[in-house]
Structure 1
Amino acid sequence: MVRTRPERAAVRQEVLVAAREVFADLGYHRASLDAIAQRAGYSKGAVYSNFASKDDLFFELLGAELATMTEALTTGVAATRDRDTDLYLVAAALLAMAEDGRAQLIFSEFRAHAAREPALAARLGEVRTTLVDAAARRVQAEADAQGLALSMSAHDAATILLTLSNGLALEHVGNEPGQVIAVESLAVVIGSLVVPRPDAPPSSDPQE
């Protein structure tokens, strides 16, 4: 049953949720605004009143997914302030995201689609730049908070983390969780991005 007179913000959010499900089930090319509207429980007109096209809808969904990814990479880190624990948490977050392989397949499919459309490719590049810049700020802030120095630019460190996330997601397709790489091994790789800062005071152990 199609609902009437919902709040506009609620419509957008529910359409985005439905779009993620439909894109995951059917892939980008087979998904249609009709199918997304039906999954959300709204008319096609309600979808078009919020999104001009399937591409516009996908870009908003992509932005939301990438923001969630950036947030997940540092979730829990600020609370521990312990290097080994933090590296493990970041590695675990990367693997958890990678296990949702269907989402990465959708993004890969859309990248191939955008590569043949210059306007879409430029727009996708802008989204990527925004994401990397945001991730770089988070990476630098966490390194500063822990008295660590990055072994490269924050931009490059963020790019490596996001590349790891993308690659691990593809590697997880057809594999069970835990079969691709051990979280401890991934933590070692991520640990190479940071080094102790020479002028940082030694950490104190309250039990000493």
Structure 2
Amino acid sequence: MSVADAGARGGRLPRSARRAQLLEAAQSVFAESGYHAAAMDEIAERAHVSKPVLYQHFPGKLDLYLALIEQHTSELPELVRAAMASTQDNQERVAAAVRTFFSFVEREDAAFRLVFESDLLGEPEVAGRVDKMSAECAAAVAKVIQEDTDLPPESALLLGVATVGMSQTVARSWMQGRTVPREVAEGLVSSLVWRGLAGFPLHPEQPDA
């Protein structure tokens, strides 16, 4: 049962629960319609609240959108960091990082549409948060690359950017048609990334991975 359904059935909610309910409703509307076509009336209706209640928590549509962007752009770098820390095997690290992006685009809440396909990227606050998220994801990958190779930080970061950019771009493309099973798509991207990264020598003290 969703937060919105719980609110509809249970009447008054604590402020934090009401906020979560409103964000859940807004998420579905923004994912379906985009920012510009979304209406506060529809968000309130989907959340089973009146517009005054919605405006008590979020003064405007942009405030709602920025709250969701902040939530998702903070979450994805944490997921990438967790993937990189999930194993000491470098090839498995690559696979785990790639899986993170496929999992993100396949989520039922369609958060990736707000993050990667937003019709509001011209808004500086939105663009800034998305850019920060991408930089943090790339830095998480680059940190491991630099730790295990003789590459300078700048070069490792470029490889991190390439890995993240490829993973999210292919995951989004796969999501549009799903012409191959997800595990096949993940394997293709992981193999491509790994074969490239494996060409860089490890530190002398590092065992072959």
TM-score of the aligned structures, taking structure 1 as reference length = 0.73
Q: Equivalences for 1:179-198 in 2 at 5 Å?
A: 182-191=185-194, 192-193=196-197, 195-198=200-203
1:10 to 2:11 alignment: no
1:132 corresponds in structure 2 to 134
1:72 corresponds in structure 2 to 79
Mapped contact 2:138–2:163 kept (Cα < 8 A): no
Unaligned runs of 5+ in 2: 1-7
CA distance in 2, matches of 1:149, 1:39: 54
Letter paired with 1:125: A
Mapped contact 1:23–1:31 kept (Cα < 8 A): yes
Aligned-pair identity in percent equals 20
* Structure with greater proportional helix content: 2
CA distance in 2, matches of 1:53, 1:166: 31
In the TM superposition, residue 83 of structure 1 has moved relative to its aligned partner by 1.0
What per-residue deviation string (whole Å, max 9, x for no partner) do you get for residues 101-132 of structure 1? Answer: 95444556633x443xxxx2x22232123213
In the TM superposition, residue 60 of structure 1 has moved relative to its aligned partner by 1.6
TM-score of the aligned structures, taking structure 2 as reference length = 0.73
In the TM superposition, residue 165 of structure 1 has moved relative to its aligned partner by 0.8
CA distance in 2, matches of 1:159, 1:47: 41
Equivalent of 1:89 in 93, 96, 99: 96
Residue 130 of structure 2 aligns to a residue in which SS? Answer: helix
Displaced runs of 4 or more, over 6 A: none
Mapped contact 2:34–2:118 kept (Cα < 8 A): no
CA distance in 1, matches of 2:47, 2:29: 10
Unaligned runs of 5+ in 1: none
Q: RMSD of the TM alignment (CA)?
A: 3.4
Residue 29 of structure 1 aligns to a residue in which SS? Answer: helix
The verdict on how the C-alpha distance between 1:185 and 1:171 changes in structure 2, with shifts beyond 3 A counting, is closer
Equivalent of 1:29 in 31, 36, 54: 36
